[in-house]
Amino acid sequence: MNSNRKARLMLVLVLGIVALPNALRAEADRQAIDDIAARAMALYSVPGMAVGVIKDNHVVLERGYGIRELGNKKKIDSETLFKLGSTSKAFTTAALAILVDEGKLNWDDKVIDHIPGFRLYDPWVTREFTVADLLTHRSGLAPHAGDMMLWPEPNAFTRADILHNLRYFEPASSFRSKYAYDNLFYIIAGELVAAISGQSWGEFVDEQIFGKLGADRCIAGRMSKRDMKNVAAPHGVIEGKLQVIERSRIVSEPNTSAAAGGIRCSLQDMLTWVQVQLNRGTTKSGEDLFSAEQSDAMWRPVTILGVSDESAERDRTHFRAYGLGWRLADVHGYREVSHTGTLSGWNSYVVLIPELQLGAVVLSNGSSGKARRAMMYSIIRPYLGIDDVDWIEYIENEDKEDDKPESTAAMEEPRLCDTCETGRVLATLDTYVGVYRDRWFGDIRVTLDGDGLSVAADKSPRLTGRLEPYLGNTFIARWTDRSIEGDAYVTFSGDTPDTIDRILMRSVSSDSDFEFHDMELMRVMED
């Protein structure tokens, strides 16, 4: 029997039989789970991970792997802090659930009744938009609309900016008609917590959730010097080399995006959070953090998601949906409640199988979503009777299939065909120089820099770089910070071939996390 098969069988034993003696269970952990973690980290360039499992109210796995930061030998343990990314959304939802339990709020309340300054592009949608709509990705806006006000961090956008600027985003579909992932409305949800409670979102979550759970290694608001000990650093492969992503480090002050993706937490306290979720809001001490009624509300399907052929075949999935801060699906006959979190240099994954009283957490300080997925599947699937799959191998083979070109045309260098200008190339670079303004993003400045052009965004200082000529009046913005994997086509145009009065931006890569399509950058005329 090969080592991988042996490891998988051992994993079934350790995770499926909680009653094993502690010493034997620990030995099985080392032989099985350690092997999976080591393989995933090595293959996907992940410096460190923290992995935990709760089954039937018992922590059956709580382990750290690897190091906190390249060049530093300090190891990951169960108290090491990670950024959670979008697994933070469940905490924001729980904060609102607490207020619902207190009778201060209803899920069907209109947002504008609590936040009078709330405005969307469509006045009717503004009036009808409910608290539940903030949490369920059915606003009618394009996916990730306005995310450039959140990332790359740090930037100068405030929550007040986000509240004001929502009115400028034109709908991409009808209200409540389809799923389109958004982050901005979770920022508004955080502001709603503040408006009703009288505390900031961070203060409320720290006091009313983490304080009551005794989770002192989970922080939503400001971090103390003591909190800043045992902190992981974010990493990514930047131009072929694994390195720290400095701009994405954990800092003491909460960022603008915190209610959507900025909580910092340890594995140990995430397991405490998973336990209270599985217990439908009841803490270890027997107190209710939130009621079972609100647990039902958060886990109730609201926005329907599609089911891929692969999920239907591999997982026997019949439905997928988004509830309030959680993704929901049936997997091999069981209800799965889950969410992932992705930020530059950070990945997280939380999965609950309520019928089995099972929960798992994977946190990592690397940029690979494949590593977290392979680890989580390797842990959860044996409980569901799937014990004969090497998930690392599966994911690799799956990706190889996805990468196969359908024709020789797919192998050619991509060209910017839908936005290229067909007019003549302007003779002098100073023709492009100027300030270009978008209603929500603010000013982008194009300047002469030696023998070429540079571009810089006033409110997003990380978006600074050189403009390389590409085709006609189209350039490519190569950002100076190469950890921003979002180089952009910048196309200048005007009403006549001799005038330049606007910029159109598009991501060079279809895999980019940065969306420029909502911008209408018009030249600011100088006096």
H or E segment to which residue 402 belongs: helix 391-403
Of all residues in the chain, what percent carry a pLDDT higher than 70? 88
Q: Which CATH class is domain 3-402?
A: alpha beta
CA distance 165 to 150: 12
Residues 6+ apart with CB under 8 A from 308: none
pTM of the model: 0.90
Can you tell me the distance from the alpha carbon of 172 to that of 373, in angstroms, rounded to the nearest whole number? Answer: 31
Structure token digits, residue 518: 């909502």
Percent of the chain with pLDDT over 90: 79
CA torsion 386-388-392-395 (nearest 10°) is -70
In 3D, which of 375, 392, 382 has the Cα closest to residue 353?
A: 382
pLDDT band at 511 (very low <50, low <70, confident <90, very high): confident
Higher model confidence: residue 398 or residue 163?
163
Residues for the chain: how many in total? 527
DSSP H or E stretch at residue 39: helix 22-43
3-402 against 429-523: fold identical: no
Condensed to tens digits (0 to 9), the pLDDT of residues 234-278 reads 999 999 999 999 999 999 999 999 999 999 999 999 999 999 999
pLDDT at 30: 56
Share of the chain residues as helix, strand and coil, in percent rounded to the nearest 5: 35, 25, 40
How far apart are alpha carbons 478 and 466 in whole angstroms?
A: 5
Element at 351 (helix H, strand E):
strand 346-353
* 103 contact partners, CB below 8 Å, separation of at least 6: none
Q: pLDDT digit string (tens) for 4-25?
A: 544 444 454 445 434 344 443 4
Angle at which helix 391-403 crosses helix 369-380, to 10 degrees, equals 140
Residue 417 pLDDT grade (very low, low, confident, very high; cuts 50, 70, 90): very low
Average the pLDDT over 205-211 and give the result. 98
pLDDT digits 0-9 by tens, 426-482: 658 888 999 999 999 999 999 999 889 999 999 999 999 999 999 888 999 999 999
CA 87 and chain centroid, separation: 7
Which residue do the tokens 């910029």 mark? 503
**DSSP of 190-246:** HHHHHHHHSS-HHHHIIIIIIIHHT-TTEESSPPPTTTTSSB---EEEETTEEEE-G
What average pLDDT does this structure show over 42-53?
A: 97
Q: What is the fold, at CATH topology level, of the domain defined by 429-523? A: Lipocalin (2.40.128)
pLDDT > 90? residue 223? yes
Instruction: State both tokens at 51.
Output: 């992995």
What is residue 411's predicted lDDT score, i.e. its pLDDT? 34
Q: Mean pLDDT score of the chain, rounded to an integer?
A: 89
Q: What are phi and psi of 199, to 5 degrees?
A: -110, 155
Domain residues of the chain, as ranges?
3-402, 429-523
Please tell me whether residue 454 adopts helix, strand or coil conformation.
Answer: strand
What is the per-residue pLDDT for 428?
82
d(CA 63, CA 80): 11
Contact 85, 347 (CB under 8 A): yes
pLDDT at 28 over 80: no
pLDDT at res. 455: 98
Residue 54 vs residue 472, higher pLDDT: 54
**Class of residue 57 by CB neighbours under 10 A (exposed 0-12, middle 13-18, buried 19+):** exposed
pLDDT band at 286 (very low <50, low <70, confident <90, very high): very high
Query: Which of 27-31, 98-102, 415-419 holds the top average pLDDT?
Result: 98-102
